Structure 1
């Protein structure tokens, strides 16, 4: 990156993620994650502006998440669910921690992008290139944006794999009983609330 190419520097700083309303961040759903996940080109541009190299592909992250879900599903006893709706609800609950972490990181990435843009508007290219603190901050902002990108695609990949699990469940249990669970099955259902179908460690440790 050279001092006579200010456009490249500014572009990387201003194309991270769109500024979000607080009401959108409050929607802690998988659909919100999919909608707000930054695209690969945006993350790559931020990395280039920070002097970093970015080479991962979104599909690779999704496949990683899907493998995690399928591995967990192989050893899971799905007979404890009363119907597919209950299974789907439990699947959503298993991803809520990841969704909350994604939205928190997204807010941090957006706030940092805004602060960097303010600095960019009030300094020259030479000043920014000669400021080690600014360069470090821009690099940190790119890393946070990458974590958002990785987390969003991981959640999307996990949910796509869950769709396969739902289909398999419907085939295995085509006519679920509408009766209320007996006292004998209640402990097993309570245990499900604690047990995670999806391991969240896979993407939490990304970038460390």
Structure 2
């Protein structure tokens, strides 16, 4: 799974951005895995993720927790977003003890996720790295905007939405927190990090000038 792999930014910016998720393997351990994924979500929620969700139902800023939980099935992919690698280590320790039998993926700075695995006495199966973007790079938006849009790996947070929430902040229609949540809600799977989004917006907004605003 690579939908959480293409996040961009400095090490400092990405040091508060970790995703833990699980999924079953079709034809291998899919049957009956929905119950295990519900247990997975129970464990995640104990550690107060800043966002969570299931690819089938939606994220916790759009759907009630009970609806997400009840709709989890064998083909679900359940996600949680955390800002502290120490908490990720604790989550992994509990997941190891639970031995649910489904694949677990952790996305974050490689050195930090490596440390989380060591602290949890877990051995990695596979490591994936994004090679970046190829092609007509001049057509891309500014890096500061890409850092916000790429937190949704399915492209549900478009450049136009980022520009809109920036305008809302400048016009004092939204707070930084409210604007960050406006970006978070469209990311159906629940992998968008609203805490990081707010920090990125605080850096981006002063750099942008609205038409007619001088």
TM-score by length of structure 2 reads: 0.25
**CA radius of gyration, larger in:** 1
What's the TM-score once normalised by structure 1's chain length? Answer: 0.25
- Larger RCO: 1 or 2 (CA < 8 Å, sep 6+): 1
Could you say which structure has the higher helix fraction? 1
Normalized per residue, the structure richer in strand is: 2
